[in-house]
């Protein structure tokens, strides 16, 4: 599948089939994250792939009881080990680096016939407690992964002309 087609077909899955994700597919999705670029090649990401149903149910509770979090056969906790480095542009690098790695996983999941949903609505302290994550590590996001149980939803995106200008700022 061409990359732009994968991007067009990717959507936030909020219903999953009760079908486990094959180990090979899970490892391929995680490999996509491993290959992502990072500032100064820090590779500060660490991923906890949670398949245990009881643990996923606890993560669902920590994610504001969003049912599909517990329904997904895999929940990946996306963590950062280096949270202090600020890039010359003034931005912390770890949220950006993790975002890139997570997006690599979402696109690889489409290629594997899987779906994902990036979860930012969760209580980090609860997730850390559930998964035994040390205090100095940040949990940046949760990513559900599995076979979609719903249909692709149409995307409501602004047209290119409204979000792109060339050579200088030309927005109203």
- 3-state DSSP assignment of residue 50: strand
Per 3-state DSSP, what percentage of the chain is helix, strand, and coil (rounded to 5)?
A: 40, 20, 40
For 12-65, how does the pLDDT look when each residue is reduced to its tens digit (9 = 90+)?
999 999 999 999 999 999 999 999 999 999 999 999 999 999 999 999 999 999
Cβ neighbour number for residue 139 with a 10 Å cutoff: 23
Give the residue extent of every domain in the chain.
3-149
State yes or no: pLDDT of 128 exceeds 70.
yes
Q: What is the largest CA-CA distance in the chain?
A: 53
* Whole-number average pLDDT of the chain: 96
- Tell me, which fold does domain 3-149 have in CATH? NADH Oxidase (3.40.109)
For 115-126, how does the pLDDT look when each residue is reduced to its tens digit (9 = 90+)?
999 999 999 999
């Amino acid at each position: 599948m061409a990359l732009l087609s994968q991007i067009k077909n990717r959507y936030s899955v909020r219903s999953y089939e009760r079908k486990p994700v094959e180990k090979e597919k899970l490892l391929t999705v995680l490999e996509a994250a491993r290959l992502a670029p990072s500032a100064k090649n820090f590779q500060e990401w660490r991923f906890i792939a949670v398949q245990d149903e009881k643990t996923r149910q606890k993560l669902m509770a920590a994610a504001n009881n969003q049912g599909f979090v517990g329904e997904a056969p895999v929940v990946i906790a996306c963590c950062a080990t280096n949270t202090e480095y600020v890039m010359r542009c003034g931005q912390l690098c770890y949220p950006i680096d993790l975002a890139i790695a997570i997006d690599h996983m979402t696109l690889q999941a489409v290629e594997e016939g899987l779906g994902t949903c990036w979860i930012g609505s969760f209580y980090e302290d609860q997730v850390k407690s559930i998964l035994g994550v040390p205090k100095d590590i940040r949990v940046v996001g949760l990513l559900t992964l599995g076979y979609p149980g719903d249909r692709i939803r149409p995307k409501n995106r602004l047209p290119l002309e409204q979000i792109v200008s060339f050579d200088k700022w030309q927005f109203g």
